[in-house]
Structure 1
């Protein structure tokens, strides 16, 4: 008769599936590769069948390993829900909250929320990672993050599984950013008026870069991108130096690093939404709710 399956070893098997190797899984959980390998060998003995196909090129999950990982995900989700139930009943406000966020929200919202959380909940430990939405959502789904602060632009949908819960933080307009005196007048500017301009723009794999390019094409022109960067400080400096104009969310404009002009974008205007995503299995944990509440307050 086979032994019962150990949850900790199931978690290790899931990490190997997520990371692609025993070494990467070991780094993630803070163990040595040999220790992880030994634990997985014990798990195979408990399961009564090989779970990993080991070779000189690495490891792959066998059919039994893949089936067991699928079950492990459900088991770990149930355990997370149980933890949330217990924390809610006891009002526990201690532990570790991991937030992934887009850079502009990190500076404008997450930093403020982190300061308040540290002051009000001294037993709560917070770590923040800056990443594009696709990466943050993957990490949230894999259990590497507890909250993902993502941005959603007009015309650039972000796929979100139904087992993620979205909390609206704010909606803000995109604005035109230029060197001082580079554009005529002082009022609103339409995209079509910028068709002949040089542009400084985030790359195409960034949501803002996609949204602005799509909007320009909808107005009948291809933007002439002269500088391309996802570093908002460098982007503003490049605009200030006269290398081109930019269209950005207002919170992403680092107007304290260089002298620039900011003008409203006339219709059809563009906007972006900032959302805080959580897993439905962890949304009721008091420490997650406390972090979400502070993020919402920071938008005010």
Structure 2
């Protein structure tokens, strides 16, 4: 009779698939590479077949290894659902919640929610700032419990069916310039900014994509002089007169530097802030409590 497969070792095999190496998997789970190798060797004996193809260049999963990881995903999801059922029965707010979030939401929403959640001594919260694509990948891989992402006009974000989303806020994008540097008075048309120099997030950031696409739709390519995904630096660069920016209102930190903020009249642009979580864990009290606090902070 073949021995039962150990769930903890299945989790390690999945980590190797996700991270691409035993060393990276070991760092993720807090073990030494030697300990992970030993556990995987035991798993191979349990499985009765090689699961990893080891070479000087690293490790790859064998066909059997890939098949076992596919099953491991289902098993780990079932265990997560079982954990959610038990937590829901006890109603206890204890455990670790890992949040990935865009920077502007971290400052404006997540920080406030985290402060209120700190009242529950047994609930541990960690926050990582990342762009939506990376947060969603980490959520799917099980490295995060909640991803706070933003969705801009013209830049769709694919969300798999087995993730659930909670709407937090919808806000307009505004024009930001140095004091007295913006033309005219009142709302601005994007086409009126075609000759301006720009300070802008990079193209791989959703905001940077959305604003560039909007400018091109108006018939011009923005003259980007400063490019950064650091919103504090971006606002300081605008205040110093290095260019203008079009940003979500929450991304403009009023206490960083003096700027002039005007509505964007034509075309109007907006972004939605969403909180995503796995359907298998959404009923856990600590996940639901965190989502509730994020909604309150956005309210």
Match of 2:66 in 1: 66
Displacement of 1:16: 0.3
Write the distance in 2 (CA, Å) between the matches of 1:189 and 1:268.
9
Normalised TM-score (structure 1): 0.99
Write the distance in 2 (CA, Å) between the matches of 1:110 and 1:259.
25
Match of 1:51 in 2: 51
1:146 and 2:145 correspond: yes
Match of 1:157 in 2: 156
Write the distance in 2 (CA, Å) between the matches of 1:199 and 1:67.
50
Match of 2:10 in 1: 10
For residues 45-92 of structure 1, give each alpha carbon's deviation from its aligned partner in whole angstroms, at most 9, with x where no partner exists. Answer: 000000000111111000000000000000000000010011111112
Write the distance in 2 (CA, Å) between the matches of 1:184 and 1:196.
11
Displacement of 1:256: 1.2
Long gaps (5+) in structure 2: none
Write the distance in 2 (CA, Å) between the matches of 1:30 and 1:229.
33
Match of 1:110 in 2: 110
Secondary structure at the aligned position of 1:292 is classed as helix
Match of 1:33 in 2: 33
What are the within-5 Å matches in structure 2 for residues 186-265 of structure 1?
A: 186-265=185-264
Write the distance in 1 (CA, Å) between the matches of 2:253 and 2:21.
40
Write the distance in 1 (CA, Å) between the matches of 2:183 and 2:61.
62
Secondary structure at the aligned position of 1:152 is classed as strand
Write the distance in 2 (CA, Å) between the matches of 1:49 and 1:72.
16
Match of 2:78 in 1: 78
What are the within-5 Å matches in structure 2 for residues 125-136 of structure 1?
A: 125-136=124-135
Secondary structure at the aligned position of 1:265 is classed as strand
Displacement of 1:257: 1.1
For residues 151-195 of structure 1, give each alpha carbon's deviation from its aligned partner in whole angstroms, at most 9, with x where no partner exists. Answer: 000000001110000000000000000011112322000100001
Match of 2:290 in 1: 291
Secondary structure at the aligned position of 1:217 is classed as helix
Secondary structure at the aligned position of 1:182 is classed as coil
Write the distance in 2 (CA, Å) between the matches of 1:233 and 1:183.
20
Match of 2:274 in 1: 275
Match of 2:92 in 1: 92
Write the distance in 2 (CA, Å) between the matches of 1:69 and 1:97.
25
- Number of equivalenced pairs: 299
Secondary structure at the aligned position of 2:139 is classed as helix
Write the distance in 2 (CA, Å) between the matches of 1:80 and 1:112.
27
Displacement of 1:294: 0.2
Displacement of 1:255: 2.0
Secondary structure at the aligned position of 1:266 is classed as strand
Write the distance in 2 (CA, Å) between the matches of 1:95 and 1:36.
25
